[in-house]
Amino acid sequence: MTGKTLAAILLCSIVSISTVAQLVAGDGVDALPAPSLTSPVPSNQKGRDLSKLDACKIVTPADVAAATNRKVIKSVGGQVHCSYVVDAPQSGADTYDLYLNEAAVTEALLAVTPGKERGTPVPGLWSEAYVGPAIGSPKQLSLVALRKGDMAIEVQGPNKDALIAIAKIVVSRLK
């Protein structure tokens, strides 16, 4: 992803989609209007209340151990984020992270991210899902899955198959 796309990520929660699109298109920060407090999700669509969820209960250490075929050394987190430290023979430990996100933010990001920068499509995970390199984390991958109008998840870790397995667990439990 480009620096402009990263800037768009930071702005998504406070500005409208058209503003983010202007930034990514190259109109620059000087062209940004005042932040809009309106949600990019239509008013008839209310996303899931993430405060009622617990990422570490949705995906347990046993689930991550099964998905990675490795022992989970430690897990920590809660409401919208859980981190799992997994035994890795070559490096000592790998980390997998689960994030629960608002659908509106992810929808806005996907709307301004060119197709190939989204990653490889992953079929069967909600409305749409992609896996590709994680931004700012060498040797890590990121899987983003969106259930339009409801919520989104991001799973980060070093193994694509494990990310997909973890995402499938989340999707099956958050119906």
Local structure of residue 48 (DSSP, 8 states): -
Return the pLDDT at 26: 46
pTM: 0.75
Kindly tell me if the per-residue pLDDT of 171 is higher than 70: yes
Residue 84 in tokens: 């799992």
Kindly tell me if the per-residue pLDDT of 27 is higher than 50: no
Q: Which residue has the higher pLDDT, 116 or 40?
A: 116
* pLDDT, average across residues 69-76: 96
> Percent of the chain beyond pLDDT 90?
66
Kindly tell me if the per-residue pLDDT of 48 is higher than 70: yes
User: Which long-range contacts does 108-114 make (Cβ < 8 Å, 24+ apart)?
Assistant: 108/12, 108/17, 108/20, 108/40, 109/8, 109/9, 109/12, 109/20, 110/144, 110/146, 111/17, 111/20, 111/21, 112/5, 112/8, 112/17, 112/20, 112/21, 112/24, 113/1, 113/5, 113/24
Local structure of residue 138 (DSSP, 8 states): T
Return the pLDDT at 45: 62
SS3 98: strand
* pLDDT, average across residues 126-155: 95
Kindly tell me if the per-residue pLDDT of 169 is higher than 70: yes
Residue 85 in contact with residue 95, Cβ under 8 Å? yes
* pLDDT, average across residues 6-14: 38
Return the pLDDT at 175: 84
Q: What residue ranges define each of the domains in the chain, with the CATH number in brackets?
A: 1-38 (no CATH), 47-173 (3.40.1000)
Band (pLDDT 50/70/90 cuts) for residue 15 is: very low
Kindly tell me if the per-residue pLDDT of 28 is higher than 60: no
SS3 116: helix
Return the pLDDT at 90: 84
